[in-house]
Amino acid sequence: MPLIAPEELLGRLDDPDLRVVDLRWYLGRPGAGRAAYDEGHLPGALHLDLDLDLSAPRGPGRHPLPDPVAFARRIGAVGIGPDRLVVAYDDGGGWVAARLWWMLERLGFPRVRVLDGGIGAWLAAGGRLTTDVPAWRPVPAVAGRPWTGTIDRLALRRRLGTLVLLDARAAARYRGEVEPIDPAAGHIPTALSAPFDENLGPDGRFLAGEALATRFAALGAAGPVEVVTYCGSGTSALHHALAMRIAGLPDPVLYVGSWSDWSRAGEPVATGPEPGPPPP
């Protein structure tokens, strides 16, 4: 199970193998996640930044994946090794935490969990916050391995109409009614609107596996078909990877560059509530 309940985490804070990672990050507000961490975070938590630690400085889209060797070194330098229980959290339903979960899994880390409900559920369960910053001893970096389970823009364009493409952004961005950061509004032709926050219940925790399986089945993403997920920059799309794992479904493929890559490249754009046909 890729999740850990806050009630369980409360009982594991003294575990010397525990590594908690705060991943709060806010669109268009560089440094705000670290500022929130400095104001108060889970005991023993270290902060990692989506822009600085989980992304490359250059590449397709706003948050290209970093070089896996460099990322493995970065993780080892702050004391996160494959023999540790790593718990990732944020305050946005797990959408950034899911990216660290996905990245570490692909580096071969066997025990990575996302805190179900994030910092809000932690506080609701009676957890406390602290301003103490841990100093974990560095550990040897694991061997970097190429990222798997991804697709680039050109390969995706050739295959539109032959796979299930899920857009994890808010429905208004999918329809093209608003676009806060990228150069074009709308969605990739053939994509289905599947906002990532609909994987969550009213309490901010993930829906049960059966409910998630029903959701993805309704999207046509639960059968013997390849599923590709995307969002604005390859982050909240991985919320679907986490949700599909909870549902017992095969892992989807990630379009890393996502809408930020597609829209900047001048590719065809669809608007409105319908997926639209594949481009010629």
Neighbour tally for 151: CB within 10 Å? 19
Q: Which residues contact 14 (CB under 8 A, 6 or more apart)?
A: none
Can you tell me the distance from the alpha carbon of 270 to that of 23, in angstroms, rounded to the nearest whole number? Answer: 32
| Rg of the chain taking only CA atoms, in angstroms | 18
Residue in the structure block whose two tokens are 């493929």: 253
Beta-strand relationship, 227-230 and 164-167: parallel
The helix (run of H) or strand (run of E) holding residue 164 is strand 164-167
Can you tell me the distance from the alpha carbon of 257 to that of 229, in angstroms, rounded to the nearest whole number? Answer: 11
Catalytic residue among 46, 231, 238, 253: 231
Smallest Cα–Cα separation from 145: which of 40, 65, 225?
A: 65
Residue in the structure block whose two tokens are 């991943």: 23
Neighbour tally for 265: CB within 10 Å? 15
Can you tell me the distance from the alpha carbon of 266 to that of 184, in angstroms, rounded to the nearest whole number? Answer: 9
Active site residue 231: yes
Active-site residue set: 231
